[in-house]
């Protein structure tokens, strides 16, 4: 209960209620709400539930408006399949056969927020005959079974069977902002949204983010165009770097081919250099494609301060009993690391770049070269 008391003021403010309004809604004095928010009073279970329901009222009423707006925009096939309301957000599941487009979401928001601005008063029908409720056009939810007498909640054209707590008028909701739309099951979509003060918080966050972005781009008047320009330029530069690296890979590969050492009939290629893991892997596989037999490739490389050992073997050496994974696993101890891989290709990372040359020598020693 302490957690609930600590959050009461936050949830009351998110619901857009003063202490007096909340006290009136749950039938207690304002002093009781003050003591609750100060943590000086533990409410009864009944009062705690009433406060919780009152705090969720805006989001509950918003689901009714959302349901009606979805039917208007998407079609009468829309049926509520589930919902969740909390003091600061709502979730609404409904039947629909495809993703709701951004344009449709915007139309739904406009319809809902127009009804909120109209401040439509709550019209409640308590304990009326179910046939009379149907004549009002009330929508039954979840396919539930109802008794002979029901409660109906109406906000203008939104008329639904409901037993929940609602705002006195739609203006109390403040505003609705849909933050996501997704699929939760075949033929069922889910909308999540904020209302009231939570929307204001969201807008403030968006405004702050936009302000920071503008500052990063020297307050460019056309921010979107400027960002697109930077993205395009970055893509161009990235392509240039990739082309440059491919050229360097080709040059390094040719140098390595010119410096192949033959030991006991095995073509040994070894080197130690500051290269990325991807570059070393590319070179190793290219060499394996050119030297199809008796290739023994071992490299010690370093990128961003991280040492790596790479071994590549031709198939006939693997068939003869050598395993790249076993070789790097043992030699990786000299760079304070470990690794493994396939019989023909394996890598190992470590922490001690100073041990790379010794690790290369260890690989050759283990291979009998």
Residue-level pLDDT at 54: 66
- Residue 255 belongs to what H/E stretch? helix 223-258
SS (HEC) of 17-86:
CCHHHHHHHHCCCHHHHHHHHCCCCCCCHHHHHHHHHHHHHHHHHHHHHHHHHHHHHHCCCCCEEEEEEC
Question: Whole-model pTM?
Answer: 0.61
pLDDT per residue as tens digits for the range 184-200: 999 999 999 999 888 98
Q: Which two tokens stand for residue 30?
A: 């304002």
Domain extent listing, the chain: 2-204, 217-249, 260-366
Strand 158-161 and strand 261-263: the pairing is unpaired
HSE-up of residue 354 (Cα within 13 Å, Cβ side): 0
Residue-level pLDDT at 88: 80
Query: Which residue's structure tokens are 């970055």?
Result: 234
Residue-level pLDDT at 5: 44
**152 φ, ψ to 5°?**
-125, 135
Residue-level pLDDT at 119: 95
Does 3.10.310.40 match the CATH number of domain 260-366? Answer: yes
| Torsion angle defined by CA atoms of residues 57, 100, 111 and 103, in that order, rounded to the nearest 10 degrees | 140
Residue-level pLDDT at 49: 63
Does 3.30.980.10 match the CATH number of domain 2-204? Answer: yes
Across the chain, what does the average pLDDT equal? 87
Name residues of the chain where pLDDT drops below 50.
1-5
For residues 338 and 348, the answer to whether their CB atoms sit within 8 Å is yes
Residue-level pLDDT at 123: 94
Residue-level pLDDT at 4: 46
Strand 266-273 and strand 295-303: the pairing is parallel
- What is the distance of C-alpha 80 from the center of its chain? 25
Residue-level pLDDT at 142: 58
Residue-level pLDDT at 53: 67
């Amino acid at each position: 209960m302490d957690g609930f008391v600590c959050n009461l003021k936050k949830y009351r403010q998110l619901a857009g209620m003063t202490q007096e309004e909340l006290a009136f809604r749950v039938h207690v004095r304002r002093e009781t709400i003050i003591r609750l928010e100060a943590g000086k009073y533990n409410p009864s279970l009944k009062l705690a539930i009433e406060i919780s329901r009152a705090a969720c009222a805006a989001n509950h009423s918003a689901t009714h408006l959302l349901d009606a707006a979805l039917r208007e925009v998407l079609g009468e096939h829309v049926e509520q399949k589930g919902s969740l309301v909390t003091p600061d957000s709502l979730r609404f599941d409904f039947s629909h056969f495809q993703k709701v487009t951004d344009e449709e979401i915007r139309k739904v928001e406009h319809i809902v927020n127009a009804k909120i601005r109209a401040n439509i008063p709550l019209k409640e029908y308590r304990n009326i005959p179910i046939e009379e409720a149907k004549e009002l056009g009330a929508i039954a939810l979840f396919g539930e079974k109802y008794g002979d007498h029901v409660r109906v909640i109406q906000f203008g054209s939104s008329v639904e069977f409901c037993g929940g707590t609602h705002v006195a008028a739609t203006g109390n909701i403040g505003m609705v902002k849909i933050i996501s739309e997704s699929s939760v099951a075949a033929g069922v979509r889910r909308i999540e949204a904020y209302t009231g003060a939570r929307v204001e918080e969201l807008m403030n966050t968006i405004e702050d983010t936009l302000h920071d972005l503008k500052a990063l781009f020297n307050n460019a008047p056309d921010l979107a165009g400027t960002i697109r320009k930077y993205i395009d330029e970055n893509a161009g530069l990235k392509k240039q770097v990739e082309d440059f690296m491919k050229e360097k890979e080709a040059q390094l590969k040719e140098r390595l081919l010119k410096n192949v050492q033959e030991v006991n009939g095995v073509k040994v290629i070894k080197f130690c250099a500051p290269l990325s893991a991807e570059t070393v892997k590319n070179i190793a596989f290219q060499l394996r494609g050119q030297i199809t037999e008796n290739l023994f490739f071992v490299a010690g490389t370093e990128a961003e301060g991280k040492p790596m050992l790479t071994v590549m073997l031709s198939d006939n050496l693997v068939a003869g009993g050598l395993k790249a994974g076993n070789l790097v696993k043992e030699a990786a101890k000299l760079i304070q690391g470990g690794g493994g891989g396939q019989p023909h290709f394996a890598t190992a990372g470590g922490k001690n770049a100073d041990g790379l040359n010794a690790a290369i020598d260890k690989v050759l020693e283990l291979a009998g070269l």
